[in-house]
Amino acid sequence: MNTHTAHIKTPLGIARLISNENGITEITVIDDASDAILTTQIPESLQNCAQQLREYFEGTRTAFQLQLAPKGTPFQQKVWTALNDIPFGKTYSYLELSKKLGDVKAIRAVAAANGKNPLWIVTPCHRVIGSDGSLTGYAGGLWRKKWLLEHESPVKQQSLF
């Protein structure tokens, strides 16, 4: 299976985009930028993804229209599909997500599947928070989760200084 990879700069670090003939398989943020060289010529299969991510960060895109092909178990796929239903600017708790999936007792499994989401930002796992409103676990780092939620917030915080 042919795969294509690109590395693009975002306000939160270098993002690695990977696709195959079925669609986008992975979007991850790389903490160690020395692991990646920015792509000067983005493969055709990733150009739309790179453009939509740029628009998201510019504040002109609130939803993604991409052919996605993440690899995961059937349960993980079910959780990731449910994540895609969380609207821009909204959050769900892990408990709400578990209820939506039909099994409140599956909260730990839902949280684990959320943490394995291979499609950073596009499948919005950052929109899932603790029942008490806390920013619980995020594979990309809590500071990125906070940034993303503030970026999507309909009420922009004004600086006093």
Question: Residue ranges per domain, the chain?
Answer: 4-58, 74-152
Structure tokens at 9: 């700069």
Q: What is the pLDDT of residues 37-89, one digit of tens each?
A: 777 889 999 999 999 999 999 999 999 999 999 999 999 999 999 999 999 99
Residue 125 appears among annotated catalytic residues: yes
Q: Does domain 74-152 have CATH number 1.10.10.10?
A: yes
If one compares 78 and 140, the residue with the highest pLDDT of the two is 78
Nearest to 31 by CA among 57, 51, 12: 12
Q: Looking at this protein, which amino acid is placed at residue 69? A: A
Quickly name the fold that domain 4-58 has: Double Stranded RNA Binding Domain (3.30.160)
> What distance in Å separates the CA atoms of residue 148 and residue 20, rounded to the nearest whole number?
27
d(C-alpha 28, C-alpha 129), whole Å: 20
> Across 2-156, where does the E strand assignment appear?
4-10, 13-20, 23-30, 92-93, 128-129
Instruction: Please tell me the predicted confidence (pLDDT) of residue 114.
Output: 93
**pLDDT > 90 in the chain, percent:** 77
Options 86, 110, 122, 125, the catalytic residue: 125
Q: Residues 109-128: pLDDT tens digits? A: 999 999 999 999 999 999 99
pLDDT value of residue 35: 61
Domains 4-58 and 74-152 share a fold: no
